[in-house]
Amino acid sequence: MTATSEAMDAHADHRVSESLLRTLGGRDYVDPAVFDAECDGIFESMWFCAIHVSDIPDPGSFRTVQVGRESILLTRSRRGELRGFFNVCRHRGAQLCTDDSGQAKRSFQCPYHAWTYDFDGKLIAAPNLTSMPDVGREEYGLKKVHVREWLGYVWVSLADEPESFEHTVEQEILDRLGAMSNLDAYDLSSLKIGRRIRYEVKANWKLIVENFMECYHCATIHPELTEVLPEFADGLAAQFFVNHGASFGEEIKGFTVDGSVGLDSLPGIGDDRDRKYYAITVKPQVFINLVPDHVILHRMFPMGPDLTVVECDWLYLPDVVDSGADLTASVELFDLVNRQDFAACERCQPAMSSRVYRDGGVHVPSEHHIALFHDWVKSRTT
């Protein structure tokens, strides 16, 4: 075979049938440089859903989270106001809090040289600080990040000037549900965490987003879910349609692993939503699942090109959680779905480095909307 014919064959390999679309290339899922660009253009510049407000209930209670390449410290001031800081001592750059969570009594003190900060981030003490009157307490305080509360969660932006929350985060809800009132009916901020499960997924974050956006795989790996939501067996990408909710099967009584009766419906849910499931992707790292008696909210924390931590909360009415009601059947269903999905993503990750996948794979028509996600990623990183 001549060099020319080899080049033609290679070019032919890049062509796809009219019903198919190309995916991203394998490099996009494994290259540290690509991940760095995503940290710059996405995670460290957009609004990022970090923790539930209940994770830091009191002044001085704290939690640290990874946002892109940065460790972020979240706490409350003496007045109970939300505060967010880069988890970096301003002296020599030591990590200020090394625990994932805890309760500080009076202040945060660096374990290296004892520089000490109050809950508003102000530098209040350091060895020999009185002999350095030119060191400003505010100037050398902790570097702040923007914080806001929404849906019962703390969202952060590491950007110097944060993007419009309404035009980014809230717009995702409007695009999916058509009106904010369709989400307000679930009153997420009033719900309480009934169960939390943390998953470590050895896969690129984009593989997880892509999986959540489509249901072409549902009939193959989610027999329990398709029993509850029969239309998913047909590969319907429910998220593609504005305000579409997948209906429960005729014999299904609740969103539970065996289709048994669930809990009482949330007060704001009308008859039109009483037997439906809605899924929402809020870029870059939140999945929201709405069912009549609870809400499931996933937060992804991309840790590197091939590792993503997913923290999943099952949210119920406070009375349900406080009563000690058995939540097993509803938690078990989506925990099973998660484990099935994450195992599939982990099966894909090793092949992203294969020469066969250098130019990527293909999307069938029911997955074409994922190409819009890929376009969005490229627009943020190039």
pLDDT reported for residue 217: 95
Whether omega before 318 lies within 30 degrees of 0, making that bond cis, reads no
As a whole number of angstroms, the distance between CA 266 and CA 185 comes to 8
Give the full edge-to-edge strand order of the sheet including 123-125: 108-109, 116-117, 123-125
Burial of 66 (0-12, 13-18, 19+ CB in 10 A): middle
Domains 52-157 and 180-381 share a fold: no
Identify each DSSP E strand in the chain by its residue range.
21-22, 48-52, 61-67, 70-76, 82-86, 101-103, 108-109, 116-117, 123-125, 146-150, 153-157, 192-201, 246-247, 276-282, 286-291, 294-304, 307-316, 362-363
The answer to whether 154 and 81 are in contact (CB under 8 A) is no
What residue ranges of the chain have pLDDT lower than 50?
1-13
Q: Where do we find the tokens 């625990």?
A: 99
The structure's pTM equals: 0.93
pLDDT reported for residue 137: 85
What is the pLDDT of the chain when averaged over all its residues?
A: 93
pLDDT reported for residue 136: 80
Residue 371 C-alpha from the chain's centroid: 19
User: How is the chain split into domains, by residue range?
Assistant: 52-157, 180-381
Query: If residue 226 lies in a helix (H) or strand (E), which one and from where to where?
Result: helix 223-228
What's domain 180-381's superfamily in CATH?
A: Naphthalene 1,2-dioxygenase Alpha Subunit; Chain A, domain 1 (3.90.380.10)
CA angle, residues 248, 255, 321, in degrees to nearest 5: 150
The DSSP letter of residue 366 is: G
pLDDT reported for residue 135: 86
Domain 52-157: which CATH number of 2.40.50.100, 2.60.120.10, 1.20.1730.10, 2.102.10.10: 2.102.10.10
Q: What are the pLDDT digits (tens) for 40-53?
A: 999 999 999 999 99
| Helices 328-348, 205-213: crossing angle, 10 deg rounding | 120
Q: Where do we find the tokens 């994770």?
A: 55
Instruction: Give the number of other Cβ atoms within 10 Å of residue 103's Cβ.
Output: 13
The answer to whether 335 and 197 are in contact (CB under 8 A) is yes
pLDDT reported for residue 3: 36
The answer to whether 326 and 260 are in contact (CB under 8 A) is no
The DSSP letter of residue 149 is: E
As a whole number of angstroms, the distance between CA 257 and CA 362 comes to 32
The answer to whether 62 and 154 are in contact (CB under 8 A) is no
Q: Where do we find the tokens 């037997």?
A: 275
The answer to whether 172 and 281 are in contact (CB under 8 A) is yes
The answer to whether 311 and 301 are in contact (CB under 8 A) is yes
